[in-house]
Amino acid sequence: MLTRAIPVFGTRRSLRVFERNFAIYRSQWLMLVSGFFEPLFYLLSIGLGLNHLVGDLRVDGRLVSYATFVAPGMLATSAMNGAMIDTIFNTFFRLKISKSYEAVLATPLTVSDVALGELWWALARASVYATSFIACMLVLGDAGSWWVLLCLPGAILTSLAFSCIGLAACTYIRSWQDFDLVGVVQLPLFLFSATFFPLSLYPRWLAAIVAFSPLYQSASLLRSLSLGQFHVSLVVPVLYLGVIGALGLKLAARRFTRVLIP
């Protein structure tokens, strides 16, 4: 089934699902606009508060302000949260509550088209929010260099990885109570992925675990891009997130088929 699902994921029919979501959100534009305030509030709270209390941190031999250190990690966190909300919460509602996909499957679209269409929509929203976040970093002076513009594809890659995981995880959720389990995963990732402090400050045993976190890999990648610190090891988080996304996409293809076509 997986070998058949991969080619189907490249069809243009999946864009019809994207167009459907876009048409719905045109009448709910306030929900989209509200996403622009999240990065502004995050960065203002850090820049006006913690930045003066913590002081400068050393990153690969370079002293940077605390706000400059945290901002890429918050961008990675924002990309993760946005992807999980779109592909878990919203998709669950359409999958189990409104039964929207049953109507969609009455058209020539396939289950794979539905899954990929939701992925395109999640990535489109992630691109918009990541752009606004990077713009806020530049305006507030939290960008380490103009290389911060490369954080946009990095944030999209992060959203891709977590969106694929979210699509697969959504199919295992049985009721609204199961969303508590999503928080059990998200909160430790948020707090223990070197988002707020360098990995060197963690206990050695905990640092070894954190290094395998997809959010840490994303934060590390975005922080290096923001500071213009390029080295060969940046290939590791790129490959890591890419592999996570590919595996999640394969699992999502299988699970969507099993749930929607018993």
The pLDDT of residue 111 is 83
The backbone torsions φ and ψ at residue 61, rounded to the nearest 5 degrees and listed phi first, read 85, 5
Cα 203 to Cα 184, 206, 216, distances in angstroms: 22, 5, 15
- In DSSP notation, 35-70 reads TTHHHHHHHHHIIIIIHHHH-EEEETTEEEEHHHHH
Please name the residue that has the structure tokens 């606009």: 33
* DSSP assigned state of 88: I
List the chain pLDDT tens, one digit each, 262 residues. Answer: 433 444 444 567 788 888 887 777 776 666 666 656 766 777 777 776 777 777 777 777 778 888 888 889 889 988 888 888 888 888 888 888 888 888 888 888 888 888 888 888 888 888 888 888 898 888 888 887 889 999 999 999 999 999 999 988 888 888 888 888 888 888 888 888 888 888 888 888 888 898 899 999 999 999 999 988 888 989 999 999 999 999 998 898 888 888 887 6
**3 state DSSP class of 72:** helix
> Could you give the CA distance from residue 60 to residue 62 in angstroms, rounded to a whole number?
6
The pLDDT of residue 33 is 62
**Cβ neighbours of residue 170 closer than 8 Å, sequence gap 6 or more:** 87, 88, 91, 92, 95
The pLDDT of residue 8 is 41
Please name the residue that has the structure tokens 């359409």: 94
> Could you give the CA distance from residue 216 to residue 237 in angstroms, rounded to a whole number?
9
The pLDDT of residue 39 is 64
The pTM of this model reads 0.85
What residues does 62 pair with on adjacent strands? 59
